[in-house]
Amino acid sequence: MSIEPQTWHHGLVAQWWAEFNDDGPEIEYFRGWVEGGGGPALDIACGAGRLLVPYRAAGLDVDGCDVSADMVGACRRRLAAAGLEANVWTQAMHELDPPRAYRTVFVCGGFGLGSARARDEEALRRFHRALAPGGTLVFDVELPYSYTRHWPYWLPGGRDALPEAWPEPERRLTADGGELSVATRVVDLDPLNQIVTMELRAERHDEGRLVAEELHRLTITLYFRDELVAMLRASGFDDIDVFRGNTLEPPSRDDRFLVFAARRR
């Protein structure tokens, strides 16, 4: 396995995120944590700034970082277009080394991506170090059983169907008159290490002519609730809460998407 985080948020995929991902309930949800934290916040895996840009527009003191230089570039362009500034930089979360301490560190849709367990454990230790005493880490995760389509791949016989055939791509028109298309498929699921490997094929057409095509891989490490709680404790966090995704309510067994909030003493 490569040492570098394996993510697909580069090139055309970064363009896709920047053009087509600018809303969602996470924006208001994480804003509540940032405002409640009452001090500087760090948006880890900030991507193209879906959360960071509106927070800066609201006057919140938020920095951001992401492993993908293309996503960070898209974030900077969005900030500049809105006449805003923020300290954003390119860094993998397991190498996090921020310039200041934060009251809130948050990760929306990024924990476990491009990773492996040892790097995620290191990331949690670095999140802890990045917090001021009394500060809070907040992040969301999809549970391993979230995608029912993947269930057969947990069994040896089920994995005979991998890699999946490419599905029909999703196509969107870009602001500059081109067309982007993306398709994703599962290529492997390792149940012992709880890692799913996906591929994404992206294409750009201008006036019907193919002008760019890319193939990317993404590994996702899957975590169950209690193993994440144990990992947070082992990383030095106290006072750990688990919520149903984008709420402050306790999760039920029917939930597949959770939020973890953990405080540094």
Whichever of 40 and 47 has its CB closer to ligand SAM, that residue is: 47
Q: How far is the CB of 21 from ligand SAM (least distance, A)?
A: 6
Per CB under 6 A, 152 contacts ligand SAM: no
Query: Could you give the strand order of the β-sheet that contains 209-221, starting from the edge strand earlier in sequence?
Result: 170-173, 179-190, 195-206, 209-221
Of 15, 29, 37, 50, which lies in the binding site for ligand SAM, with binding defined by CB under 6 A?
Answer: 50
Total residues at interface with ligand SAM (CB under 6 A): 22
Nearest residue by C-beta to ligand SAM? Answer: 47
105/135 Cα distance (integer angstroms): 8
Contacts (CB under 6 A) with ligand SAM, residues 71-90: 71
| Closest approach of ligand SAM to the CB of residue 50, in Å | 3
CA dist 41 to 86, 98, 130, 156, 213, Å? 11, 11, 10, 44, 36
At position 150, the amino acid (one-letter code) is H
Among 53, 60, 113, 138, binds ligand SAM (CB under 6 A): 113
End-to-end CA distance of the chain: 36
113 or 180: CB nearest ligand SAM: 113
60 makes contact with ligand SAM (CB under 6 A)? no
* 5 lines the binding site for ligand SAM (CB under 6 A): yes
Q: Environment class of residue 179 by beta-carbon count within 10 Å: exposed (0-12), middle (13-18) or buried (19+)?
A: middle
Is residue 96 within 8 A of residue 203, CB to CB? The reply is no
Work out which of 41, 42, 46, 105 binds ligand SAM, going by CB under 6 A: 46
Our finding on whether 51 is near ligand SAM (CB under 6 A) is yes
Strands 88-90 and 170-173: unpaired
62 binds ligand SAM (CB under 6 A): no
- Cα(103)–Cα(214) distance, integer angstroms: 39
As a whole number of angstroms, the distance between CA 63 and CA 100 comes to 10
Query: In this complex, which beta carbon is closest to ligand SAM, that of residue 154 or of residue 190?
Result: 190
Q: Does 202 help bind ligand SAM (rule: CB under 6 A)?
A: no
Confirm or reject binding of residue 68 to ligand SAM (CB under 6 A): yes
* Phi then psi dihedrals of residue 73, to 5 deg: -60, -45
Candidates 37, 40, 47, 98: give the one binding ligand SAM (CB under 6 A). 47
* DSSP code string of 179-202: EEEEEEEEEEEETTTTEEEEEEEE
Could you say whether residue 56 binds ligand SAM (CB under 6 A)?
A: no
Catalog residues that contact ligand SAM under the rule CB under 6 A: 5, 7, 9, 21, 26, 45-47, 50-51, 66-68, 71, 92-93, 108-110, 113-115
